[in-house]
Copies of this chain bind each other. A is one copy, B any other.
Amino acid sequence: MSSNTSGGPTRRERMRAETIGEIKASAQRQLLEHGPGGVSLRAIAREVGVSPAALYRYFDSLDSLLVELCCDFYDELIDETRRAMDAAGGEECHLDRMKAWIWSFRSWAVANRRKFELMINIPEGAAALGLSLDIRRLSWEDLPPVTRKSMEHAQQCGAELAAYYHQRNDDEALGFAALEPPELSDGLQRELREKCGALIIGEELPLTWVYSFVSGWVRVFGLVTMEAFGSLPVQENIEEFYKAQVLSMMKDFGIEP
């Protein structure tokens, strides 16, 4: 007597989904209160009103529960970033959309320090972009889920850069704009183009653009993690400092506002 004949999810499937939701909600509460490492299966079981062993019907282990949480957080981040980018302007506003990406990344990470901590410390997630080497030989579907989400997030920005590049390239009056890198060996050039170009940005761009992208990526990553971990020297005027840093970056890239 399954309701599957009417197409929708089974009654059991609904119950199961709801239970999973409760478990995750409880785990998230504990994460927000005690930080990663303060999340305990037994405490979750107590809160949900079930025996500890029962949780193993829903998750393989505490770790895999945390990984799933992590993926959810990436989805949150990606959604919010998408919204912020769309609010910044539609087509032809790629520069503003990139700024919106940076800014919403920062705000989300700061407003959700604990979640962000977890995302950074999750082993497979941290090695997200670093795995690029093996990534090339792996199909997208077989990547560790956190890695995939993390790349999805990076690509939001990379795609915008590519669009911006084409926009400037089509309009001959604008010409090119990118940081001129020092002389680079063939090996590094290839690595930059293959990994960062094809994987992050999604298509092949000139070396100057790829180098600029990676340089900017490192700066933004540094800013966001330092602020989230509380090790940014500036503390009272952080927002302004951020904006100044973005302006400096653009100036370095030869982009005037």
A 206-234 to B, binary, CB cutoff 8 A, 1 in contact else 0: 00000100110111111101100111111
Asked whether, in the complex, the Cβ of B233 is within 8 Å of the Cβ of A126, the reply is: no
Q: How long is the Cα–Cα vector from A200 to B232 in the complex, in angstroms?
A: 12
Q: How long is the Cα–Cα vector from A118 to B11 in the complex, in angstroms?
A: 47
A61 at the interface (CB under 8 A from B): no
A223-B218 CB under 8 A given contacts A185-B240, A240-B185: yes
Asked whether, in the complex, the Cβ of B126 is within 8 Å of the Cβ of A237, the reply is: no
Asked whether, in the complex, the Cβ of A132 is within 8 Å of the Cβ of B218, the reply is: no
A90 → B minimal CB distance (Å): 27
A252 at the interface (CB under 8 A from B): yes
Asked whether, in the complex, the Cβ of A234 is within 8 Å of the Cβ of B214, the reply is: yes
Please name all residues of chain B whose beta carbon is closer than 8 Å to the beta carbon of A234 when the two chains form the complex: 188, 191-192, 195-196, 214
Q: With CB as the reference atom, state the residue of chain B lying closest to A128.
A: B231
Please name all residues of chain B whose beta carbon is closer than 8 Å to the beta carbon of A225 when the two chains form the complex: 221-222, 225
Asked whether, in the complex, the Cβ of A133 is within 8 Å of the Cβ of B236, the reply is: yes
A 94-134 to B, binary, CB cutoff 8 A, 1 in contact else 0: 00000000000000000000000000110000111111110
List 13 other contacts, CB 8 Å, given A182-B244, A191-B237, A214-B234: A127-B230, A129-B231, A132-B233, A133-B235, A182-B243, A185-B237, A185-B240, A187-B237, A196-B234, A219-B219, A221-B222, A221-B226, A222-B225
A225 → B minimal CB distance (Å): 6
A3 → B minimal CB distance (Å): 45
Please name all residues of chain B whose beta carbon is closer than 8 Å to the beta carbon of A226 when the two chains form the complex: 218, 221-222
Residue of B127, B188, B237, B241 near A241 (CB, 8 A) is B188
Please name all residues of chain B whose beta carbon is closer than 8 Å to the beta carbon of A229 when the two chains form the complex: 120, 126-127, 130
Q: How long is the Cα–Cα vector from A195 to B235 in the complex, in angstroms?
A: 9
Asked whether, in the complex, the Cβ of B133 is within 8 Å of the Cβ of A233, the reply is: no
Q: Which 4 A-B pairs have the closest CB atoms?
A: A222-B222, A130-B230, A127-B230, A188-B237
Please name all residues of chain B whose beta carbon is closer than 8 Å to the beta carbon of A233 when the two chains form the complex: 129-130, 132, 192, 195-196, 199-200, 214, 217
Asked whether, in the complex, the Cβ of A181 is within 8 Å of the Cβ of B248, the reply is: yes
A7 at the interface (CB under 8 A from B): no
Q: With CB as the reference atom, state the residue of chain B lying closest to A121.
A: B121
